[in-house]
A = this chain, B = another copy of it.
Amino acid sequence: MKNFSFCNPVKIIFGSDTISQIAQEIPADARILLIYGGGSIKRNGVYDQLAEALKGRTWFEFSGIGANPDYETCLDAIKLIKDERIDFLLAAGGGSVIDATKFIALGYYATGDPWEILSTHASPDKALPFGTILTLPATGSEMNANSVITRKSTQEKLSFNSPLVFPKFSVLDPKTTYTLPARQIANGVVDTFVHTTEQYLTYPAGGALQDYFAESIIKVLLKYGEQALKAPENYDVRANLMWASTWGLNGWIAQGVPEDWATHAIGHELTAFYGLDHAQTLAIVLPGLLEVLIKDKSEKLVQLGERAFNISEGSLEDRALATIQAIDAFFKRIGVNTHLSDYGLGEKAIDRIVERFRERGWILGERQNITPEVVEQILKKRL
């Protein structure tokens, strides 16, 4: 097992009808900014619950954070915060709203260009405090210190991580997910699945507990992924998916073991250039990456196959391949297509993405052997 040093201080308030509890988590004299997206929280009752919980408080609102939250919108929010002397943020939505809020919380204190938080990882030394109300389980952003921001003008999608942007608290009410479109639920399952494999499908590193935990998350997704689509108001199904998605990226399963993250890096470019849903890009890239790197990852693939997919027949190579096919089949079964052509993309898209990797000089993967040439091989398997 590798050495590590880690702390995750996020307070989780989980369960049915828990939004009302935010009042006791926010200082009484705070000037609060509620940040949200396109208005789904007005349709699903979350906005009303928040308004009720914030009764008597001083609060403002900023809406319009879209999927793949963009830099320019975040700057508008920072301006409002300065104008209104806001000192506490409240993010209500999915990973996009929470990621944007993290960037806003830190960017508020930037003395230079806030973009540098993403481009060079220059960071202010403090951030505005904030809480989150999660309504779309997927990214784990509610319990981590990561954020991914897109700059439309330059078609860049970049991330940062800072312990300053751990939420003070996150409210997870599974009922808020009942009205989500099937596509968003399925995307969330794929996103959580791939977060987990990025921290697990590498090489054996003596982290038995971490392996079992990662497999636990994957087993919950396999057990409840389809059911969540068929029975949207089954509380325990939605609760387990929500909780699993938080654990997929709250940092604990990564401690002491190698990480990959190449699938995300390649996927981000597909979104930046072609606007695919984040999870769609992951569903395309992961099976291809596993196939190209099957030798490097065979021990973990065989282990996952046996423990999560009941694959235990055939040679080790057969089993590794069967595991990759089972992953691909699972994504399709919940309605997320896994090939570039499913989204109208072909060779041209591959060239453009590989070119971006060449320009940036990015080398990826837990063994640092995913060169732009390997990215090309991976994507060619996904035409």
Contacts and interface: CB of A to CB of B under 8 A. Distances in A.
Interface of A: 1-16, 18, 21, 169, 174, 206-209, 212-213, 215-217, 219-220, 223-224, 235-236, 239-240, 243-244, 247, 255-256
Contacts of A174: 1
B223 A219 contact: no
A6 B235 CA distance: 20
A13 B216 CA distance: 24
The complex is assembled from copies of this chain, and their number is 2
Nearest to A17: B3
Contacts of A236: 1, 206, 208
Nearest to A256: B14
Contact of A21 (B5, B15, B206): B5
Contacts of A220: 208-209, 212
9 contacts: A2-B15, A3-B14, A4-B13, A7-B9, A7-B169, A209-B217, A212-B215, A212-B216, A215-B216
A3 B9 CA distance: 19
A256 B15 CA distance: 8
A235 B2 CA distance: 11
Given A14-B256, A256-B14, A209 B240 contact: yes
Contact of A1 (B7, B9, B15, B18): B15
Given A209-B244, A243-B256, A256-B243, A15 B4 contact: yes
A224 to B, nearest CB: 7
A223 B211 CA distance: 13
A255 to B, nearest CB: 7
Contacts of A207: 240
Contacts of A8: 8-9
Contacts of A255: 12, 14
Nearest to A244: B209
A208 B5 contact: no
Given A208-B224, A220-B208, A236-B206, A18 B3 contact: yes
Nearest to A204: B236
Given A3-B18, A213-B213, 11 more contacts: A1-B14, A1-B240, A3-B15, A5-B11, A5-B12, A206-B236, A208-B219, A208-B223, A208-B224, A209-B247, A239-B256
